Amino acid sequence: MTDIRDSLMVGRSSDGRLVRRPLSPHLQVYRPQITSVLSIVNRATGIALCAGALLLVCWLVAAASGEAAYAGVSAFMRSPIGLLLLFGWTVSLWYHFCGGLRHLAWDVGFGLDLPQVHRSGWAVVIATAALTVLTWIVAIVLM
């Protein structure tokens, strides 16, 4: 124990030994549920979008720097790795967008009953898939 707050986490096991109580959340013992999984994905896509923001800055700097830099970034984005990154960015963007709208609705008090939470969760998953496919259809048509 190095922190006084740890004293609240100490308990006794059935044979009387002093043990450290487990900390929640116990991801390893919970069955994945739509609520928890979507919450984790919202955070993961948020982190991914920070990497996407880096790509946005690269593109802006390349556009401001000149023809060679712009051609380089454009070529990278059309390479297999670039396309994979762009696809991941699109999925993350639409997921975090829809999930964010769901969070904003909760923040003003809408849709907090469990059946509604399950329904809005599946709606976010379906909307993410639909918007991603739509975005890439438009992208491929314009390409």
Partner 1 sequence: MSEPAKIHVMRSQLGRVRGLGAARSGTQHWRAERLTAVALVPLTLWFVYAALHLMGLPRAAAAQWAANPINAALLAALVISTFHHGALGLQVVIEDYIHVERTRLGLLLLVKGAAALLALIGLFAVLKLAFTG
- Rg of the chain, C-alpha, whole Å: 22
Please select the residue that binds partner 1; options are 39, 46, 105, 117, rule is CB under 8 A: 46
The binder of partner 1 chosen from 4, 57, 81, 114 (CB under 8 A): 57
Residue 86 makes CB contacts below 8 A (sequence gap 6+) with: 77
**4 in contact with partner 1 (CB under 8 A):** no
Segment near partner 1 (CB under 8 A); pick from 7-15, 26-34, 56-64, 112-120? 56-64
For residue 76, what are the CA distances in angstroms to 23, 69, 73, 79?
Answer: 44, 11, 5, 5
Residues numbered 102 to 121 that lie near partner 1 (CB under 8 A) are: 103-104, 107
Cβ closer to partner 1: 12 or 75?
75
Answer for which of 97, 105, 123, 125 binds partner 1 (CB under 8 A) is 97
Contacts with partner 1 in 26-45 (CB under 8 A)? Answer: 43
Comparing CA positions, the residue from 97, 90, 96 lying closest to residue 135 is: 90
Residues contacting 7, CB < 8 A, separation 6+: 1
CA distance 84 to 106: 33
The binding site for partner 1 (CB under 8 A) comprises 43, 46-47, 49-50, 53-54, 56-57, 60-61, 63-64, 66-67, 70-71, 93, 97, 100-101, 103-104, 107, 135, 138-139, 142-143
